[in-house]
Structures are given as C-alpha cells and as structure tokens.
A = this chain, B = another copy of it.
Amino acid sequence: MKDIRVIAFDADDTLWVNEPYFREAEERFCELVKDYMPQEEANQELFKTEINNLPLYGYGVKGFTLSMIEAIMNITDNKGSLHLVEGALAIGREILGKPVVLLENVEETLKSLNGDYRLVMATKGDLLDQERKLLKSGLAKHFHHIEIMSNKNKEDFQKLINHLDCAPHEFLMVGNSLKSDILPVLHAGGTAVHVPYHITWEHEKIDHLVEHDNFHHVDTIKDILPLLKGQSYLKNGSYKG
C-alpha cells in the first residue's frame, strides 16, 4: 500500500450507524399498513418498489419515502386514507432527524490518517442528508470534501479517481459493502479494504468470495493503520512488521 495518496471512506455503516434506522423504518411502515397486508408481505412490496425506483430516484431517504408512498397505493389498491401517506412522510422525516452514532474507532483512525493522506467521503444517498450527517458527526475536519456518487459501479469509481487527479494504484477505498465499496474499486484498478458491518441491506449482498491481491479485510477500521504502514495483518489481530 506504499503508493496510496487518497483514501475514500464510505459513510453509512462504515463511519456511522445507518442500516438499523432503515430496518426500523421498514418495521414502522409494515405496522402502518398492517390492516391491508401481512407485515412480511408488505415489507417485500416495499423492497420491490424501492428496487424498481432505484434507476429513477437513486439512493437516499427522499427516494425511500417516495417508494413508501407508492407502495401504500399498491398495498391498499388506492383505497387507503391520506393518513397513511402522512405516516410515510413522518417515517422519512424521522430518518432524516436521527442522531449520528459513530462506529467504533472511527474518529481515532481518521485523526491518525489526516495529514498523511487526502481523505474524502465517498457515498451514495442525498447530498444534503450526507452533509448534515457529516456535520453532526464532528468528522468534517478530517475530510477534504464529500463525493456523492449516484451509483458505485466500476465506471463510477473510474470517474471518481480521474476527478481526484490520482492514479488507480494511488487510490484506496474503505467500506462495508463488498458489492459497492470493494468489487468495483478492485475492477477499476484501486485497492479496497472491507470493514464489515453486522447488518447489510438485501440489495447490497453478494453470494461469492472476494479474492484479489489488492483486497484486504479487517475486523475494525483502525486495522487499516498497520496495513497502510506495510505491516502484514494476521487474522488473529497481531501484526508482522
């Protein structure tokens, strides 16, 4: 990793808690429409609507809220009351107002890296929402800037790397999603470190193992520090100099 100059961090579920808020929102949504459809089925309907709408709305809370509203129309066959829609708007607003809870070791890791590398936050979702979370998190001082990505495919990372004026071998991505933060970066010629989070959105799951010379897996974010120093990292938590 001696060539790395720019480190991009995914935000949601890499720096701070996010996915549990969406799980909670889905539960509240199913509760809202439970007179019209069994909860598990309603959850599936919402998921289907979200995935259908991704090419149109992209990622983030606003698209999620619009999908909840569309799902209400399908679930109630347009016969539900506007109070259900009011409930969906309230669920969306509640996600936007959630506190930002940092994940373990995030702050000390960023502090250690800042100065030696250009740090950017590279995330999907709504810009305003992510800016607000960055502000609430107190982490803004560690980042050069935020990159909002409409998607995280190989081509999106190629554009990002080009835009950051660095070469692929100088670029490191750190994130919790193998599908979005790791595989496309490896395909774009970059290096990627996977820091797992205990909940993964269905849409972000992959069903195969990742093996690549530029792929690294750590159990906690602070383990990227010895990796960057060229110390090989052993799974039992000790480091070989």
What 4 pairs between A and B have smallest CB-CB spacing? A58-B128, A62-B62, A128-B150, A145-B163
A interface SS class: helix
A202 at the interface (CB under 8 A from B): no
Q: How many residues of A contact B (CB 8 A)?
A: 37
Q: Which residues of A contact B (CB under 8 A)?
A: 56-58, 62-63, 65-66, 69-70, 72-73, 76, 78-83, 85-86, 89, 92-93, 96, 126-129, 131, 144-145, 148-150, 159, 162-163
Within the complex, which residue of B62, B66, B82 is in contact with A82, where a contact is CB–CB below 8 Å? B82
CB distance from A68 to the nearest CB of B (A): 11
Residues from chain B with a CB closer than 8 A to the CB of A144 are: 163
- A205 CA to B85 CA, complexed, in Å: 33
- A65 CA to B81 CA, complexed, in Å: 19
CB within 8 Å for A86 and B58 given contacts A65-B66, A128-B150, A159-B145:
no
- A62 CA to B89 CA, complexed, in Å: 13
Q: Residue on B with the closest CB to A86?
A: B73
- A150 CA to B131 CA, complexed, in Å: 8
CB within 8 Å for A58 and B145 given contacts A72-B82, A86-B78:
no
Besides A58-B128, A73-B85, A79-B82, 19 new A-B residue pairs in contact (Cβ under 8 A), listed by A number: A56-B96, A58-B126, A65-B66, A66-B89, A66-B92, A69-B85, A69-B89, A72-B82, A78-B86, A80-B82, A81-B82, A126-B126, A127-B148, A127-B150, A128-B150, A131-B150, A145-B162, A145-B163, A148-B148
CB distance from A11 to the nearest CB of B (A): 15
